Amino acid sequence: MAETLNVEICYAMNSKQEVVRVRVPEGATLQHGLDASGLLAKYPEIDIRKNKFGIWNKLSKLDAVLRDKDRIEIYRPLIADPKEVRRQRAAEGKVMKKGAGDADASEG
């Protein structure tokens, strides 16, 4: 009998997160997991040509082979490019706050 894998597919929106658990056959790909979840049909804004996907927070391609207990994540496009936001702040003369790590380095 063929082995099956338990996989979780997550899609986070502004107001909620949807998590679907599915069973897929051994050797299934990220694409198979997405198809089995039903999320592509439920949320038409997810475009497999434009959205990025990952397995356990690591960018992955649609042909990546899944392992048991993998977590597929569907990433939404960024609203703003972080580099561009920093450039705009610098152009406006705004100073960014230093992180907590900077304070620790000055002690001692």
Q: What is the pLDDT of residues 14-52, one digit of tens each?
A: 889 999 999 999 999 999 999 999 999 999 999 988 899
Enter the pTM of the model.
0.70
* Three-state helix/strand/coil letters over the chain: CCCEEEEEEEEECCCCEEEEEEEEECCCEHHHHHHHHCHHHHCCCCCCCCCEEEECCEEECCCCECCCCCEEEEECCCCCCHHHHHHHHHHCCCCCCCCHHHHHHHCC
Q: What is the mean pLDDT of the chain?
A: 85
pLDDT category, 10, cuts 50, 70, 90? very high
pLDDT category, 1, cuts 50, 70, 90? very low
pLDDT category, 54, cuts 50, 70, 90? very high
